[in-house]
């Protein structure tokens, strides 16, 4: 019994360490003062008011949202057939190809962004925004493949064959029978990929420029110049939204098993 | 399945993703890689690598980056293993709540997550305020922009990764196997080390690989908590590229980062039990 | 001409080697044929080749006079029933059954009537709006049956359809399948590894082993007159003794087992080809084996390793010159401690086959 108490203690310490900072930041965001102090003195919502009124945050938020949705959607369209092939077919060279498709998750994001910048913007003259979208799509690709593969593995291949034996073409069977039954996997893939894109800094770092910036990059820029609780307020908003998404996704989809 | 039909299906299904990654992912990497060897008047040169590798600052940063990974990974194992073990023993409801808390640091914006540490470690942050008010410190100590700050920040990010990997590895160890070990006379601790640890060893290697390579390539945490004072490989690369406009040095560092991660990734995989036999 | 003809088929490659090699099969219209064999024997590959999920690399598939070689599965009019039912989890019973009709562009106004008829046939009226998850195992299997017969297929393929059901339900469903087959007169091919299922359902049984047909025949043929050592073993001739051919005459075949002579009055197809002096195996069932306490004609000396009393029967484990023999006898014939006994096998219950070194 003594042993399990020590284990429990380690578990509690770990959770205080993991979650404590989030609570600290939320408390600090209600400060009424200009300098970051903790515990904060006074209570106000002035920093929330300020966040909503800084235009750069608003425009970069939309930029992040649009980039995230577009990249996630593209990565899913490209990734679902790859996942389907991974689960359904055996063919020579399969291991090498699976490694190939997962490589964007192994190469450091900073290097991906840097290489894309050098390659496209300097060599081919592709607009920076397109580079941002392509870079995000590339790094989301392995996520969608992995999550969709996991949910396809739980899908009985016989169901698809039943549809084909009843007269569906393979393509029709996929849309009529396979897709509706891996819905939760698709949603999990969408959530994970979108959040990954929305939060990404390393890839975006090199693929932003005049008029093109994502919210996290804009926050980093702001932090270089100002040291007031504005970022606390913005971070709190982001944390609360993330908590809501993560909690419901875990409850409904068990998203942690896909990570 | 007819071979020809299979081939056509594979091309149709894998083709788009394959082409996408070749054009928008591999070509840029290969381009950057080749460029780093291109001499000013054509031909192959290693001078950029020599220049970077012999640079005192680079050497210092490289060693520091490895050192921090070497500090963080064992801490993540020591804290992660017992926590993961305990979590697999919990009732499904409790476990689900804890799992969603574990993944929170991984899912939250890294900027928001790291910013919290400024509030804690800053000059007027919790720690300094507490220590000065109790009288242990007269002056606020400098906690920000230190290696320690980066270690703490990275640990918060990668500990969950370790726990997740271990939990899924341990879930495959059935309760019966553990009970069998207990019934055969192993104590709790004995059965943990003799049964659970060997059976989740694959997960451990996976976790160590993810955490170690993650530490070496992480950007946001060292950027905020280390700033320009305590550089790591990734913040150094960013500084060379975007502040000093030294693209050549940045390219070389990028290549070194890839090579380091690939070596670690494949090197650590060697320790899978199957490979040791 | 047979209704189904598989000619010269090579199919189902595993690591470069075909599971079926130069395979032939003929099935007549209205038959219920079972493919019986252990896992890996090629029975499922045969089924999938007929269904079109495996395209034969070589050979010809003809069903109902039409050449189906190379025709994809969705263009063949074949019903398929799977071991785990493979119902569409997101569709109701009604929609599951309607799926094939819609795919076949059956006029909308005809669909409800057809579905009602088929659900009536499988006694599932009233379950139209249930999802598969809300049904019991037996009900799911009925839906799977209804779904595949409502399209009026040329042929119904069943892949171990009863193996996920418990014993009682299995008996019920077996009777029901039999009834449906007689009522609809539909040609069925039934894959199973369960000999009782095959014996009770089929008009013909095909025993398969390692991609080839070992024996084809009526249930009685297979059960009473296995033609190969493999079939004999598979169908319950669990006991086998090694011997040597002595004489082949009008009276039967005489074989020497150790220093005793044994007579078999049964003639299987291949036993007449045996030559004097050939190494042979003698096969017999545990429940045809009697235990005696004295030597009589057609007995072999044995000794009892142990006896296992099971109420109406007793199971004996014996050994004959180092070979393990099982006997199931009614009641208890000999005392437990009788070390030396004789086992007797009626001359008409013995099968002699050439010893191929199994």
Cβ within 8 Å, pair B120-A239: no
Cβ within 8 Å, pair A162-C87: yes
Question: Which chain C residues contact residue A156 at CB under 8 A?
Answer: 84, 86
Assign B64 a pLDDT band (cuts: 50, 70, 90). Answer: very high
Q: Are strands C32-36 and C204-209 parallel, antiparallel or unpaired?
A: parallel
Cβ within 8 Å, pair B79-A14: yes
Task: Name which of A167-176, C27-36, C293-302 the model is least confident about.
Answer: C293-302
In whole numbers, what is the pLDDT of chain C averaged over residues? 86
How many Cβ pairs closer than 8 A exist between chain A and C? 60
Cβ within 8 Å, pair A163-C53: no
At A73 the pLDDT is 97
Nearest to residue A212, comparing CAs of A113, A79, A141, A93? Answer: A113
Q: Which residues of C touch A (CB under 8 A)?
A: 51, 53, 72-74, 76, 78-80, 82-84, 86-90, 99-100, 103-104, 144, 147-148, 151
Answer whether A194's CB lies under 8 Å from A68's CB: yes
- In chain C, what are the domains? 4-229 (3.40.50.300), 237-354 (2.40.50.140)
The more confidently predicted of residues C16 and C43 is: C43
Q: What ipTM was predicted for this assembly?
A: 0.91
Nearest to residue B115, comparing CAs of B220, B188, B29, B33? Answer: B220
Residue-wise pLDDT tens digits, B14-62: 999 999 999 999 999 998 888 888 877 778 888 888 888 999 999 999 9
Q: Is A175's pLDDT higher than 90?
A: yes
Assign B159 a pLDDT band (cuts: 50, 70, 90). Answer: very high
Answer whether A189's CB lies under 8 Å from A143's CB: yes
Q: How far apart are CA B17 and CA A83, in angstroms?
A: 11
Q: Which residues make beta-bridge pairs with C284?
A: C239
Question: Which chain C residues contact residue B1 at CB under 8 A?
Answer: 54-55
The tokens for A230 are 């504005």
C241: three-class secondary structure by DSSP: strand
Give contacts of B 2-41 with C, CB under 8 A: 2-3, 5
Region B244-257: mean pLDDT is 88
Cβ within 8 Å, pair B1-C57: no
Which residue of chain B has the CA closest to A219?
A: B111
| CA dist list (Å): C243 to B177, C58, C289, C320, C323 | 48, 42, 17, 12, 12
At A91 the pLDDT is 84
Please tell me what DSSP assigns to residue A212. Answer: B
Q: Where are the domains of chain A?
A: 1-44, 54-258
Region C296-319: mean pLDDT is 84
Residues in chain C: 358
Question: Which chain B residues contact residue C70 at CB under 8 A?
Answer: 2
At A3 the pLDDT is 65
Residue-wise pLDDT tens digits, A9-40: 888 888 999 999 999 888 888 887 776 666 77
Q: Where are the domains of chain B?
A: 61-276
Residue-wise pLDDT tens digits, C188-205: 999 998 888 889 889 999
CATH number attached to the domain at B61-276: 1.10.3720.10
Q: Does residue A152 sit at the B interface (CB-CB below 8 Å)? A: no
Q: How far apart are CA B84 and CA B77, in angstroms?
A: 10
3-state secondary structure string across A167-201 = CCCHHHHHHHHHHHHCHHHHHHHHHHHHHHHHHCC
At C267 the pLDDT is 66
The tokens for C321 are 């010159």
Enumerate neighbours of C (3 or more CB pairs within 8 A).
A, B
Interface test with B, best of C10, C19, C55, C58 (most B CBs within 10 A): C55
The edge-to-edge listing of strands for the beta sheet with C204-209 is C78-81, C155-159, C187-192, C32-36, C204-209, C212-217
At C144 the pLDDT is 93
Question: Which chain C residues contact residue A181 at CB under 8 A?
Answer: 88-90
Residues in chain B: 277
Q: Which fold has domain A54-258?
A: MetI-like fold (1.10.3720)
Q: How far apart are CA A61 and CA A52, in angstroms?
A: 11
Assign C336 a pLDDT band (cuts: 50, 70, 90). Answer: low
Assign B276 a pLDDT band (cuts: 50, 70, 90). Answer: very low
Question: Which chain A residues contact residue C84 at CB under 8 A?
Answer: 156, 158
Q: What pTM does this model have? A: 0.86
Q: How far apart are CA B151 and CA B221, in angstroms?
A: 9
Interface test with A, best of B17, B75, B239 (most A CBs within 10 A): B17
Q: Is B236's pLDDT higher than 60?
A: yes
The tokens for A163 are 């549809």
Closest partner residue to B99 (CB to CB) among A110, A235, A256 is: A256
Answer whether B122's CB lies under 8 Å from B201's CB: no
Tokens 């799926």 sit on residue: C99
Closest partner residue to C82 (CB to CB) among A158, A168, A181 is: A158
Range from A79-83, C261-265, C292-296 that averages highest in pLDDT: A79-83
Task: Name which of A197-201, A238-242, B95-99 the model is least confident about.
Answer: B95-99
Q: Is B277's pLDDT higher than 80?
A: no
| CA dist list (Å): C1 to B32, C153, C186 | 69, 19, 17
Nearest to residue B222, comparing CAs of B126, B125, B146, B120? Answer: B146
Question: Which chain B residues contact residue A4 at CB under 8 A?
Answer: 86, 188
The tokens for B217 are 């390539």
Answer whether B180's CB lies under 8 Å from B250's CB: no
Cβ within 8 Å, pair A100-B10: no
Q: Does residue B124 sit at the C interface (CB-CB below 8 Å)? A: no
The DSSP annotation for C77-129 comes to -EEEE-TT----TTS-HHHHHHHHHHHTT--GGGHHHHHHHHHHHTT-TT-TT
Assign C135 a pLDDT band (cuts: 50, 70, 90). Answer: very high
Question: Which chain A residues contact residue C51 at CB under 8 A?
Answer: 165
Q: Is C257's pLDDT higher than 60?
A: yes
Alpha helices in B139-200 (DSSP H): 147-170, 175-183, 188-191, 197-199
Interface test with B, best of A109, A114, A226, A236 (most B CBs within 10 A): A114
Q: Which residues of A208-241 are buried (b: 16+ CB within 10 A; e: fewer)?
A: beeebbbbbbbbbebbeeeebbbbbbbbbbbbee
Please tell me what DSSP assigns to residue B38. Answer: B
Q: Does residue A109 sit at the B interface (CB-CB below 8 Å)? A: yes
Which residue of chain B has the CA closest to A120?
A: B28
Contacts of A91 (CB under 8 A, 6+ apart): B6, B10
Residue A82 C-alpha, separation from nearest chain C C-alpha, in angstroms? 21
Answer whether C132's CB lies under 8 Å from C73's CB: no
Q: How far apart are CA A149 and CA B89, in angstroms?
A: 28
Assign A202 a pLDDT band (cuts: 50, 70, 90). Answer: very high
Q: How far apart are CA C315 and CA A195, in angstroms?
A: 67
Burial class (CB in 10 A: 0-12, 13-18, 19+), B191: buried
Q: How far apart are CA B114 and CA C335, in angstroms?
A: 84
Nearest to residue B241, comparing CAs of B252, B249, B233? Answer: B249
Closest partner residue to A159 (CB to CB) among C83, C88, C103 is: C88
Dihedral (CA of B170, B171, B173, B174) sign: positive
Residue C13 C-alpha, separation from nearest chain B C-alpha, in angstroms? 9
Rg (CA), chain B: 23
Answer whether B115's CB lies under 8 Å from B122's CB: no
pLDDT above 90 covers a percentage of chain B that reads: 32
Answer whether A176's CB lies under 8 Å from A168's CB: yes
Question: Which chain C residues contact residue B5 at CB under 8 A?
Answer: 55
Region B170-194: mean pLDDT is 71
* Residue B16 neighbours by CB distance under 10 Å: 16
Cβ within 8 Å, pair A156-C86: yes
* Residue C238 neighbours by CB distance under 10 Å: 18
Answer whether C77's CB lies under 8 Å from C64's CB: no
Nearest to residue C165, comparing CAs of C144, C184, C189? Answer: C144
Answer whether C347's CB lies under 8 Å from C252's CB: yes
At C161 the pLDDT is 87
Region A123-140: mean pLDDT is 88
Give contacts of C 290-309 with B, CB under 8 A: none
In whole numbers, what is the pLDDT of chain A averaged over residues? 88
pLDDT above 90 covers a percentage of chain A that reads: 50
Distance of CA B20 to the CA centre of its chain: 26
Residue B183 C-alpha, separation from nearest chain C C-alpha, in angstroms? 31
The DSSP annotation for C255-273 comes to EEETTEEEEE----TTGGG
pLDDT above 90 covers a percentage of chain C that reads: 24
Q: How far apart are CA C111 and CA A132, in angstroms?
A: 52
Q: Is C244's pLDDT higher than 50?
A: yes
Q: How far apart are CA C358 and CA C241, in angstroms?
A: 12
At B275 the pLDDT is 47
Dihedral (CA of B192, B196, B202, B203) sign: negative
Region C268-289: mean pLDDT is 79
């Amino acid at each position: 019994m003594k042993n399990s108490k020590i284990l429990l203690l380690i578990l509690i310490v770990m959770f205080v360490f993991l979650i404590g900072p989030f609570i600290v930041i939320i408390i600090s965001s209600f400060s009424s003062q200009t300098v970051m102090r903790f515990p904060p003195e006074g209570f106000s919502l002035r920093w929330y008011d300020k966040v909503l009124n800084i235009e750069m945050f608003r425009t970069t938020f939309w930029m992040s949202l649009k980039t995230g949705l577009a990249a996630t959607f593209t990565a899913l369209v490209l990734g679902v057939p790859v996942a389907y092939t991974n689960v359904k077919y055996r063919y020579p060279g399969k291991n090498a190809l699976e490694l190939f498709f997962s490589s964007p998750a192994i190469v450091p994001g900073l290097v991906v962004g840097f290489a894309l910048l050098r390659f496209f913007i300097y060599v081919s003259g592709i607009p920076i925004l397109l580079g941002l979208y392509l870079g995000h799509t590339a790094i989301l690709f392995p996520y969608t493949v992995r999550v969709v593969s996991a949910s396809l593995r739980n899908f009985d291949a016989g169901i698809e064959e039943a549809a084909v034996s009843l007269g569906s073409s393979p393509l029709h069977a996929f849309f009529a029978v396979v897709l509706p039954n891996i819905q939760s996997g698709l949603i999990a893939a969408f959530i994970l990929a979108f959040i990954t894109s929305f939060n990404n800094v390393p890839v975006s770092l090199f693929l932003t420029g005049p008029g093109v910036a994502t919210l996290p990059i804009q926050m980093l820029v702001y932090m270089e110049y100002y040291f007031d609780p504005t970022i606390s307020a913005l971070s709190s908003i982001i944390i609360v939204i993330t908590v809501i998404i993560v909690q419901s996704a875990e409850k409904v989809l068990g998203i942690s098993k896909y990570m | 399945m007819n071979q020809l039909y299979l081939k056509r299906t594979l091309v149709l299904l894998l083709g788009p993703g394959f082409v996408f990654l070749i054009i928008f992912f591999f070509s840029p990497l290969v381009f950057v890689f080749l460029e780093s060897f291109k001499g000013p008047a054509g031909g192959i040169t290693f001078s950029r690598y020599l220049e970077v590798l012999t640079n005192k600052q680079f050497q210092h940063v490289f060693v520091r980056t490895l050192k921090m990974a070497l500090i963080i990974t064992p801490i993540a194992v020591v804290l992660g293993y017992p926590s993961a073990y305990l979590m697999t023993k919990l009732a499904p409801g409790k476990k689900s709540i804890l799992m969603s808390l574990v993944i929170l640091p991984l899912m939250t914006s890294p900027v928001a997550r790291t910013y919290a540490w400024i509030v804690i470690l800053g000059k007027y942050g919790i720690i300094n305020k507490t220590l000065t008010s109790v009288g242990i410190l007269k002056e606020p100590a400098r906690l920000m922009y230190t290696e320690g700050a980066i270690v703490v920040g990275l640990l918060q990010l990668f500990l969950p990764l370790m726990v997740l990997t271990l939990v899924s590895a341990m879930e495959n160890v059935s309760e019966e196997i553990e009970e069998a070990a207990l019934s055969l006379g192993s104590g709790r601790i004995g059965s943990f080390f003799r049964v659970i640890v060997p059976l989740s060893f694959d997960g451990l290697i996976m976790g160590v690989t993810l955490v170690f390579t993650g530490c070496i390539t992480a950007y946001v945490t060292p950027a905020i908590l280390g700033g320009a004072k305590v550089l790591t490989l990734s913040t150094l690369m960013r500084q060379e590229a975007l502040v000093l406009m030294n693209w050549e040095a940045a390219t070389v560092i990028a290549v070194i980062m890839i090579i380091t991660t690939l070596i670690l990734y494949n090197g650590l995989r060697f320790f899978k039990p199957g490979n040791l036999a | 001409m047979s209704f189904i003809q598989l000619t010269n088929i090579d199919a189902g490659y595993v690591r470069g080697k075909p599971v079926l090699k130069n395979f032939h099969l003929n099935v007549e219209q209205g038959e219920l044929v079972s493919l019986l064999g252990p896992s890996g024997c090629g029975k499922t590959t045969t089924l999938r080749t007929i269904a079109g999920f495996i395209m034969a690399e070589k050979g010809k598939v003809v069903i109902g006079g039409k050449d189906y070689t190379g025709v994809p599965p969705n263009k063949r009019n074949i019903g398929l029933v799977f071991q785990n039912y493979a119902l569409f989890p997101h569709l109701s019973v009604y929609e599951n059954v309607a799926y094939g009709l819609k795919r076949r562009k059956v006029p909308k106004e005809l669909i409800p009537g057809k579905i009602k008829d088929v659900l009536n046939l499988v006694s599932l009226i009233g379950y139209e709006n249930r999802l598969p998850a809300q049904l019991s195992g037996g009900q799911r299997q009925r839906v799977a049956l209804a779904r595949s017969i409502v399209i009026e297929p040329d042929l119904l393929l069943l892949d171990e359809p009863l193996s996920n059901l418990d014993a009682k339900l299995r008996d019920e469903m077996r009777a029901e399948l039999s009834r449906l087959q007689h009522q609809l007169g539909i040609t069925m091919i039934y894959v199973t590894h369960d000999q009782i299922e095959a014996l009770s359902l089929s008009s013909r049984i095909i025993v398969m082993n390692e991609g080839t047909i070992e024996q084809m025949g009526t249930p009685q043929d297979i059960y009473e007159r296995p033609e190969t050592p493999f079939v004999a073993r598979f169908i319950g001739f669990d006991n086998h003794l090694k011997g040597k051919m002595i004489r082949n005459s009008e009276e039967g075949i005489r074989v020497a087992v150790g220093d005793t002579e044994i007579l078999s009055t049964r003639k299987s197809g291949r036993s007449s080809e045996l030559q004097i002096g050939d190494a042979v195996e003698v096969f017999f069932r545990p429940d045809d084996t009697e235990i005696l306490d004295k030597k009589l004609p057609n007995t072999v000396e044995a000794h009892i390793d142990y006896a296992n009393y099971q109420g109406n029967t007793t199971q004996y484990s014996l050994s004959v010159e180092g070979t393990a023999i099982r006997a199931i006898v009614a009641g208890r014939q000999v005392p437990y401690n009788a070390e030396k006994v004789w086992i007797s096998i009626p001359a008409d219950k013995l099968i002699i086959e050439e010893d191929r070194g199994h």
